[in-house]
Every structure is written in structure tokens, then in C-alpha cells.
Structure 1
Amino acid sequence: MEQLYFTEEHKMLRDMVREFAQNEVKPLAQELDEKGEFPHESVKKMSELGLMGIPWEEKYGGTGMDTLALVIAIEELGKVCPSTGATMMAHTSLGTAPIAMFGTEEQKEKYLPALASGEKIGAFGLTEPNAGSDAGNTQTRAVLKDDEYIVNGEKAFCTNAGEASVIIFTAVMEENGEEKGISAFVIDADTEGMSLNPPEKKMGWCGSDTRSIFFKDMHIPKSAVLGNPSKGFKQ
């Protein structure tokens, strides 16, 4: 079966990540989980190994590999520390992928190099207190006023939120009193009007940062819209 799907590059990556996970990540896993501490040391080393930008183009600082390569790396990390595997998974597939897939060239140039290198961590806010499995029931609103959107709402169980420098979130776009559908937006985590709850107390994956995000009259430019306006729920 391995011969059908794995290239030599995949095998080399697997062996490298497996060795790293066993030697560098596993010894820290139990203590991180018991103390609920984010795996800063492991993430730094993963960044140095190029693991934080596996599927992204080299021109944006990624390694230019495929999705299978990303899955291989997450699996090897998750074997020894689910929190570390989840951190990289959420950063790459949730906090970076929407920019790589749907962002404008300006957004890609602004965000991808730092995300792909691991210099910055990404997070994605979708779930809400009243919109979990039914994400189409999003309550967060982004109301257009003049040349900017004013955002109010809340996101729950957002992985990496407390460590992220870049946050993607969804909200119902409203223009001239009319709802235009759910859109995606990308912002810097220090944007005024955004705040965070303390980390959630969980039964497992305690080293993975999970929090609620609050938006209170947060003003963001039109350029923060990610992808096709009103199609953020489908992208």
C-alpha cells in the first residue's frame, strides 16, 4: 500500500518527523498536557525544520510539498503528542490554507511568508455558542459603514487563538441593512476591538491552546475580506 501513495520524498519526510517527534516532542508531551502549556519549544523547532509551511509554495516560504506530506507530519507528531499535532494542523489547514487558497496576491504576500515559516501562528474562528455543528447559523456580524466593516460577535473553541498573530473568521456580511451571506475575513490578532477569553479547561489535548474570541465594534478595512464576498461559508 505504501508503494501506491508514498514517494521517496514522503518517506524521507516521515522518517525525519518521526525521529524529531520521538526525540524532541515525546519527552515534553506529558508535562505539557499536565500543565496545560503551549508547546512553544517544539513549535520553534518545527519551524526550523520547515514543518509549519509544508504544502505552501516555495515563493511564499513553504516547502512546496503536497497534502499527503502534511498528513504524514501531523500523524507522526500526533502519535506522541496530540496537542502538538493539533497545533500544527490548525495552523496550517485552518489558519493558513484559506489565505493560500482564496487570498488576493496582496494578502498572500502580507501573511503567507510569516505563517509558512512559523514566525507567526494562524487560527480560524468558525464555531459560535449558537453555531457549532450548524455553522450556517453564524451570529457574528460585519456591517459595512463607509469604507470599513464594523464587527460584533463571538467565536468559541478556536484552536491557537491565544498564540496566533493572524486570525481568520467568518461573519454575516451586512450592507445597507441587507444581509449578503457569510463571508470570511483575515485580520492581525492585535486589531483593536478583538479580545480573548482565558484558555478552555479540557479533558485532553491540554497543550493545544483553545479559546473564545470576542469582537466588540471592531473596525476592519474592506481589504480584510478573504476570497469571494458572501461565499465564505462555502470556501
Structure 2
Amino acid sequence: MPTDDARELIQLTRDVADKFLAPIVDEHEKSETYPEGLFATLGEAGLLSVPYPEEWGGGAQPYEVYLQVLEELAARWAAVAVAVSVHGLSCHPLFAYGTDEQKRTWLPNMLGGNTIGAYSLSEPQAGSDAAALACKAVAGAAGYVVTGEKAWITHGGIADFYTLFARTGEGSRGISCFLVDSDTPGLSFGKPEEKMGLHAVPTTSAHYDHAVIDAGRRIGEEGQGLQIAFSALDSGRLGIAAVAVGLAQAALDTAVTYAQERTAFGRRIIDHQGLGFLLADMAAAVDSARATYLDAARRRDAGLPYSRQASVAKLVATDAAMKVTTDAVQVLGGYGYTRDFPVERYMREAKITQIFEGTNQIQRLVISRSLAAN
């Protein structure tokens, strides 16, 4: 059961989201402008460090609670919630594989929101197939010289640090992990992608032109990169599942409110069985999706294997978000297709949740391989 501290944190998240996110989300999403200073505010409130130990400035809360924080943020502003999840994903390699000295040097500022991170794994020709990375890091006297392209970086060009995965050898055991400063000479970024949704937080490519990374910025052992990446991705998939549930809940709430107020044929439209049943299915999808991510998180918190459950949660929650947001547009009818109501934005935002942190086809592959291995 949630502790009093956990309940207070979730209520704090709602208060912060209602005060700082909800009033400005429409403005920034429509104008595609970045909310300067917002992530520092979230850091000051302790919302960027929820699952990490107190010794590093964390909130020392279970992952189950952290995911509920993400859900609350996503219900107000999905782009911000995704960026918070990605920031947590970017901190995980340092926390789990870094030396004590590395953690003392960088982790407190990351968790406090003084520095915001981005996760740099994908490449133009290596998205779901992480073992196909081509960006190279060649060891030399001055450190590692990095050359190549990275793609689909949330917070690209704005983040203060990048958790980079680059090739230091051959094969799947030839990938290493690095913590890269944003102002590293030789590192540049492409123009922000023109996306379907999540407009307020940029997604860019990155170009490394013989950028020199100090050897002390390598996280873990050389060649340990894919192990590090995949360990973080399980947690990241749960983050996206929670974001998807937040989106779906927001769409459901909007649809229910509208259906209670709109009348047709002399009755509220929610009282017409055809539409009432549609809303019931939407509610069942949201509740079921939430249960899957909470189940996986509780396994993670208990130290049990949870990789398959993380893929199940990501698959179920993001498919549910796509259906629920689409149905919300249907409930609102013509109004749902306009920008006067947020459901059209929710629908656009839900689509990407089925794609990043491993497409849902990849999640099915992970699940089926787990079953075959039993």
C-alpha cells in the first residue's frame, strides 16, 4: 500500500502540474516553443529524482510511486512527462554503473534539475536494432574520439548532458556508454524534427565530428554499453507506459465531462447506451493499462525479473492510449476534430508512445522470446 509520503508526493505532483503545466500547455504546444525554466521548477519540487536514494539527492520512493508521478504529469502535458521520463532514463546508467566518484561529480545536479539529460542511443539506421550502431568512439591519448550520427534525441540541442552509446569494438559487445557535455567541441545538432505531436520539447539528430570525450566520462566497462542500454530501457518502457496512461486518463476525463453536458434527443449523450458503453470500454482500457504498469513496477521494486512485464505494460498501455484518445475524439464529434478541445492533441501525442522505447512490434518480440525461453 502507498505510504503517507507517497500519497503526499502524488498530491504535490497534481498541485505542481495544475499550477505550472496546465495553464501553459496549449500555448506552448500550439506555438511549438520550449517552456524555459519549467524543468528546474520540477527539479526543485523533487519530481526529477523520485526513485533515487536520498544520499544522491533522491526521493527514495519506489518505482511504483515514480510512475504515478509521471502519469499525473502526462495527464496535463505529455511532452513534459516524456522529457522527465527520458531524463530519468539518462540518469540511470550513471547511477547503476558509474563509479562513486562519477556519481558524486554529476548525479546530484542531474537529480536536482540543475542539469537536464537526454538519451542518445538511436541512429538513422539503427532504431530498434541497437546492436547495429555505427557511431564510433576510438580510444586515443586524449580520450575517445567520437565520429558519427545519432537520431531521435528528446531534448536534443537543449539538454545539458547526453548519455551516449557508441561503438568501441566489433559486434554486440563492442558498444560503450559515455556521459557527454552539451558544449563538447565537435558536437552539433540538426534542426528540430517537425513532429505530429509533443511540439514543445524538441527532438533532434546529433552529429559528432571528431569530438573528444575524456576517458573518465565512460560509464561502466568498455563493451558494456548494450547491457547498460537495455537495463535502462526496461525502466524507460515503464515510464512511457505511465505517460500513455496519463494521456488516456485525460482523454477519458474530457470525454466524460463533455458527454455529461451535451444533450441529444432530450437526454445527456452519456445516458444513451451506445455512447455510454463506449465510455465504459474506454474506462476499462485505462484501468487495465494502469494495472499492468503497476504490476511491473512492483516486481521491479521487489527485485524480481520484470523485463517481460515491462514490455507487456508498454504494449498494453500505449495501444490503450491510442484507442482511448481516438474514441474521445469520436465522443466529441465535430468538436473533437477541432483545436477548441484537447482530445485531438491527445490522439496525436498517443501515437508516438507506440513507437519509441522500442516499437510495439519489438515489445511483442520481447514477450514471445520470453515465453519461448521458459
Identity %: 31
Contact 1:86 1:208 in 2 (8 A): no
Tell me the SS of whatever aligns to 1:51. coil
Check if 1:132 corresponds to 2:127. Answer: yes
Check if 1:13 corresponds to 2:4. Answer: no
Question: How much is the aligned-residue C-alpha RMSD, in angstroms?
Answer: 1.5
Using the alignment, how far apart are the partners of 2:197 and 2:57 within structure 1?
32
Q: Which residue of 1 aligns with 2:247?
A: none
Check if 1:184 corresponds to 2:177. Answer: yes
Encode CA deviations 1:2-24: one digit per residue, 9 max, x unaligned.
x4xx2322221111111221232
Using the alignment, how far apart are the partners of 1:104 and 1:149 within structure 2?
18
**1:228 Cα offset (Å):** 2.2
**Count of residue correspondences:** 227
Using the alignment, how far apart are the partners of 1:56 and 1:209 within structure 2?
26
Tell me the SS of whatever aligns to 2:227. coil
Greater relative contact order (Cα < 8 A, sep 6+):
1
Tell me the SS of whatever aligns to 1:10. helix
Using the alignment, how far apart are the partners of 1:166 and 1:101 within structure 2?
17
Using the alignment, how far apart are the partners of 1:187 and 1:107 within structure 2?
13
Using the alignment, how far apart are the partners of 2:74 and 2:40 within structure 1?
17
Q: Which residue of 2 aligns with 1:40?
A: 36
Q: Which residue of 1 aligns with 2:159?
A: 164
Q: Which residue of 2 aligns with 1:80?
A: 76
5+ residue gaps, structure 2, are 229-374
Using the alignment, how far apart are the partners of 1:143 and 1:205 within structure 2?
35
Q: Which residue of 2 aligns with 1:100?
A: 95
**1:57 Cα offset (Å):** 2.1
Tell me the SS of whatever aligns to 1:27. coil
Q: Which residue of 2 aligns with 1:91?
A: 87
* TM-score normalised by structure 1 residue count: 0.91
Counterpart code for 1:31: E
Tell me the SS of whatever aligns to 1:15. helix
Contact 1:122 1:166 in 2 (8 A): yes
Q: Which residue of 1 aligns with 2:225?
A: 232
Structure (1 or 2) with the greater strand fraction: 1
Using the alignment, how far apart are the partners of 1:50 and 1:25 within structure 2?
16
5+ residue gaps, structure 1, are none
* 4+ residue segments displaced more than 3 Å: none
**1:82 Cα offset (Å):** 0.2
Which structure has the greater CA radius of gyration? Answer: 2
Contact 1:142 1:149 in 2 (8 A): yes
Tell me the SS of whatever aligns to 2:192. coil
Structure (1 or 2) with the greater helix fraction: 2
Report matched runs for 1:15-30 at 5 Å: 15-30=11-26
**1:71 Cα offset (Å):** 0.7
Using the alignment, how far apart are the partners of 1:111 and 1:96 within structure 2?
9
Report matched runs for 1:141-160 at 5 Å: 141-160=136-155
